[in-house]
A and B are shown apart, each in its own frame.
Chain A
Amino acid sequence: MPLALGSGTAPESVLHAVLVAALAALAASFLLIAWIVVLRIVGAAARARAARVAARWRPRFAAAISGAAEQAAQTAPRLDSRPVLRLFVQLALVVQGPGAVRLAAYGRACGLRQLAVRLLARRSTGDRLLAIESLGYLGDSAAADALRPLCGDEHPIVSLGAARALLRIDPANAPHVVPFAIARADWPVARLLPMLQAAGKPAADALAGALRDVATEFLPRELALARALPATLAAPFVRKFLASSDDPEIIIACLKLLHDPRDAELARRTSGHGDWAVRVAAIRALGRVASEKDLPRLTEALGDPVWWVRQRAAEAIVRLPFFSAEQLEHLRSIITDRFAADALTRAIAERAFR
């Protein structure tokens, strides 16, 4: 039966629908509140567990790091896996040398590797990352077999973490890691360079080997990674590819590696390239290896039509070790090109901040 409301009537079905919607909204609110309460309880329990674990394990790890009298290894319970491993990784991050070696040995004796391997099998990315970092710092070569396949994991953070852990466990794993470093565009070069440098000779040999077996598709990335090589190892590749390639991307990557004054002519030859990005790289390289006879060339670059080239030329001139402040001021006073003068003025002003 319809009910009368004001000037109109509302069918019973509409009122029924409104009532159901209101009850549903109320139920959802209660569920949300209950969920928040559960999260708070779980969070508080996790914090309490972490505090208990820290109180129990921090002294043991600290004693291991400092080489205190040999203490018996204690097996960490599975329930405490996450807080124990987290504490282990946090301490491993801040120590190096013999202290780090002692911490890793103690961690292995306490069965942390088994805890980490178990955590590695879980689906949670956070758990897997914690496991990977732990295995890396535990330095147990037996864990390498579990980590190697992860370099191909679709998740870039997981795969990069696995690569870092492998190199930390043993730099001899570099031949396995370097091909991934070259092929995976989702691994940032800036993250890879310190990893590869820390791995030392095995990584340098693997990189140099990759540069020798050139697959042109990956050459720009290989050259970017070659910044991890000692300058003397990289120089032959710089000369080879600058002499043979006309690809601007490759030329730029090579110029970034140019540090040998004997290769200054290579930078001079490219400083007039048609591609402005190449001219920028050439000017920067020339700035690193220039002699006094390069001053006219750098001064000429101050008048380049592209702003970036002018700025880099100005910075290169200002940083020349044989160019005094008085000579700089004299140069600024005789430049007639307004844009060139602006670039030089800015570079001189910025030098005062350094």
Chain B
Amino acid sequence: MEKTAPSTGPYILLVEDDQDIAYLVRFILEREKYRVVHAADGRDAEALLGGPPPILAILDVMLPYVSGFRLLESIRARKDWSAVPVVMLTSMSQEADIVRALDAGANDYIAKPFKPDELLARVRRLVKAKP
């Protein structure tokens, strides 16, 4: 599993602290030939902001050290990362998180428990739409 951004080539950034969810999402995306870089907490993810931007970022909301919302703000604040499409992973029961994520500039959200096919469809749509 890659933990540093590749120097060349497109990749998807996945920031998720739950090992099982991270493995599953990475499995689903890599099967579709996407390259995935995984950060297990907000601090590791912030360290990647200095590197090349991904074609898509999938952020969990509840993260150790730096929350998904803070990360989203950091991503939108950086000139080279500001156009990166962002999908937030939220809990179904936290409707307020969904509203907050969309207000803060996320392009889409996936509520857990999620449908793998739906995740893929949203990823494809956002990656295609990126200019």
Contact = CB atoms under 8 A, between A and B. Distances in A.
Interface of A: 54, 58-59, 62-63, 65-68, 87, 90-91, 93-100
3 closest A-B pairs by beta carbon, nearest first, are A97-B115, A62-B27, A96-B113
Contact of A94 (B21, B117, B118): B21
Nearest to B115: A97
A91 B20 contact: yes
Given A66-B28, A87-B20, A94 B115 contact: no
A99 B20 contact: no
A96 B19 CA distance: 18
Point out which of A66, A90, A93 has the most chain B C-beta atoms below 10 A from its C-beta.
A66
A33 to B, nearest CB: 33
Contact of B27 (A63, A87, A90, A94): A63
B102 interface: no
Nearest to A194: B93
Contact of B113 (A54, A62, A87, A95): A95
A97 B114 CA distance: 8
24 contacts: A54-B19, A58-B23, A59-B27, A62-B28, A65-B28, A65-B116, A66-B24, A66-B28, A66-B31, A66-B116, A67-B116, A68-B31, A87-B20, A90-B20, A91-B24, A94-B20, A94-B24, A94-B112, A95-B24, A95-B113, A95-B114, A95-B116, A96-B113, A97-B118
Interface of B: 18-21, 23-24, 27-28, 31, 112-118
A332 B106 CA distance: 39
B115 A95 contact: yes
Contacts of B112: 94
Given A58-B20, A90-B20, A91-B20, A98 B117 contact: yes
B27 A99 contact: no
Given A66-B31, A68-B31, A96 B24 contact: no
Given A66-B24, A67-B116, 18 more contacts: A58-B23, A62-B28, A65-B24, A65-B116, A66-B27, A66-B31, A68-B31, A87-B20, A90-B20, A94-B18, A94-B20, A94-B112, A95-B114, A96-B114, A97-B115, A97-B116, A98-B115, A100-B113
Contacts of B24: 62, 65-66, 91, 94-95
B19 to A, nearest CB: 8
A62 B24 CA distance: 6
A97 B27 contact: no
Nearest to B28: A66
A296 to B, nearest CB: 34
A63 to B, nearest CB: 7
Nearest to B19: A54
Nearest to B118: A97
A84 to B, nearest CB: 13
Contact of B115 (A62, A87, A91, A99): A99
Contacts of B117: 97-99
A54 B20 CA distance: 9
A194 B21 CA distance: 23
Nearest to A90: B20
A342 to B, nearest CB: 28
Contacts of A65: 24, 28, 116
A98 B115 CA distance: 7
A133 to B, nearest CB: 14
A58 B1 CA distance: 14
A96 B115 contact: yes
